Structures are given as structure tokens and as C-alpha cells.
Amino acid sequence: MDQASRNQVATWLLACCALIFAMVVVGGVTRLTHSGLSMVEWQPLIGTIPPLNQVQWDEVFHKYQQTPEYLKVNHGMSLEEFKGIFWWEYFHRLLGRSIGLAFLLPFLYFVAKKKIDKPLMGKLAGIFLLGGLQGAMGWYMVKSGLVNNPHVSQYRLTAHLGMAFLIYAAIFWAALGLLFPQAPHQPDGKIQGLHKFSTVLTCLIFVMALSGGFVAGTRAGFTYNTFPLMNGSWIPQDIFLLEPWYLNFFENLATVQFDHRMIAWLLAFLTPLFWFRSRKIVLTMRASLYCNLFLAMLAVQIGLGISTLLLVVPVHIAATHQAGALLLFTISLLTTHELHRINGTF
């Protein structure tokens, strides 16, 4: 691939990343506004067209009225109120379909024009298949809230969120590889150590995002709304209330929130240490900038998390917190890729 083709493909991939970023934010708002169960059918093609007249709205609303969420939570909801939650879920699904087209059509064009080499072609085809699986996972998640319990499974929600992060990371990393190929540097032990440190932090941020999925899925953010203590204690007394013990990490609200806090505390300790080590090494201007942004964004994200907790999960702050998680993940990927590149270890 010549550099012009690499830049074109990278621009397309970054545009896809921007759409996925928007998808994650809209998905967060959809969950926070309890809109995710408003569409009770999965129609990948027909579902693109929303209700266009009163008869169609009445039909869609009638189907919703048969669901556990309406019967147990929203009984008596008016059609106008239903439209308020319907549009969030509709837009979320429409954005997902748009991402599929925004990825597939340019991919076919670049393949036809021979602007993508075979190794990258295989990777991108795999990403597209993973995106299709993500759509199915989204419906599998919604289905869990349409039978008996009017809440989606926290396991399925976390899997759906985790897959979004992985797809985003795969596309973003591919774009960075096209824009910033390997530098002609000799491997350096100090940079290699910093690169490993950055990789660990990136994985830890991903784990924190997954723990945030469990917080969202169990609604654990509406409990223990104090900081730094959890209702007067560093460690809640009911942290191992459930049997068998391992269920506490996924279903006990106290444990789920405690785990999320502990990962944040760990990042709050390790990231400044990483930044301090980066100041002791001669890096490229771009690598130094990324290390600085890494530390700054972690501070912003922790502030958003504390605000979300203390204010009892207001929609606008909680959605910003979710966006912040993906932005922090993005900066960690930038940092890791640049350190990987300048260390000459591709």
C-alpha cells in the first residue's frame, strides 16, 4: 500500500471509530433512560422504518404493553411517554445499522480498488463479522428483559459493552498502524518496560469498563452514594452476602460497586507512577503528549465517576462518565501504540 492509500483507509477507519464512540454514548443514554426494552422485536431490515402513522404507533405500543416492563414498572404510561423512550432505542439501533454500512461499503470499495493488502483485509473482514455478532448480542441482551424480569441481564449487558470496546480497539489500532508505521529505532529496554506498563494499564481500563457494565446492569450506582467511604465503611459488611461466594462479584450490589471503586483506586495509583516513569525517559514529542493526556484524562474520569455516584446517577453526568471511559481507553491505546512503535517491536 502506498501512503496515500494508507491515509485514505485510516481516515475511513477513524470515521468508523467515531460512529462507534457515538454508539456507546447513545447506548448509555438508552440504558439510563430505561429505553432499551421499548422495541420488543428485532427486525434488522424492516425495523429501519419507524412507525409513520397513528395505527402503527398503536400497534407498537400495544406490543410494549404486553412486556414485563410495562406491566410491572410503567403501567399506565401514555403513548406520548412511550414515544420518549422508543426514539432513544430506535436511534440506538439505527446507528448500529449505519455503522455496519459505513464499514462494509467502503471496505468493498477499497478491496475492489486494491487499496488494502491481504493481511489487513483478513483482519477487517473478521472485525465486520464481530460487528454482526455484536448486533445479535444486543438483541440477546434485550430479550433477557422481555421475560418475567423487566431488567436486562447484567451479564449480557456487560458482554455487549465489552464487545463494543474490543471492536473499537481493533479498528482504532488498525488505523494507527496505517498512519504511524514502525519507526526505525533500535529496541530500548526502558521504553520496552514503559510499553509493557502501558499495556497493563490499557487492559486494566478495559476490565474497569467491564466492571462498570456490572454496576450499570445491577443498578449498583444507586446504592452507597458516598465517597470515599461506602456508607461509613471502607469495605461494606455485606460484601460476601450471597452464596456461592463468587456470585457476589456479579450480583451483589455492594461487591459490584466495591470492585469498580478498587479498580479506579488502582488506576489512580498506577497511572501517576507510569507518568512519572515516562518523565525519566527520552520519548518522542507525540509519546510524551500521550502520557500527559493519559494522566489528565484519568483525573477527569475519576471526577466524573465520583460526581455520578454522589449525585445519584443523573443521566447527563452518567452518560458523560461512560463516554469518558471510552476516551480514556482511546488515549491508553494511543500511548501503547506509540511506545510499541518507537521501540521497534512490531
Q: Is there a contact between 343 and 184 (Cβ–Cβ < 8 Å)?
A: no
Average pLDDT over residues 41-66: 87
pLDDT tens for each residue of 259-272? 999 999 999 999 99
- pLDDT, mean over the chain: 93
| pLDDT for residue 345 is more than 60 | no
pLDDT tens for each residue of 284-296? 899 999 999 999 9
| % of the chain at pLDDT higher than 70 | 97
Residue 46 — very low, low, confident or very high, per pLDDT cuts 50/70/90? low
Cell 476490565 found at: 207
CA distances from 48 to 57, 82, 93, 139, 261 (A): 15, 18, 8, 15, 39
Average pLDDT over residues 320-326: 97
**What is the predicted pLDDT for the residue at 184?**
65
Buried b (16+ CB within 10 A) or exposed e, 6-45: bebbbebbbebbebbbebbbbbbbbbbbbbbbbbbeeeee
**What is the predicted pLDDT for the residue at 4?**
87
pLDDT tens for each residue of 136-188? 999 999 999 988 888 899 999 999 999 999 999 999 999 999 999 876 666 67
**What is the predicted pLDDT for the residue at 342?**
85
pLDDT tens for each residue of 63-108? 999 999 999 999 999 999 999 999 999 999 999 999 999 999 999 9
CA distance 346 to 337: 10
| pLDDT for residue 346 is more than 60 | no
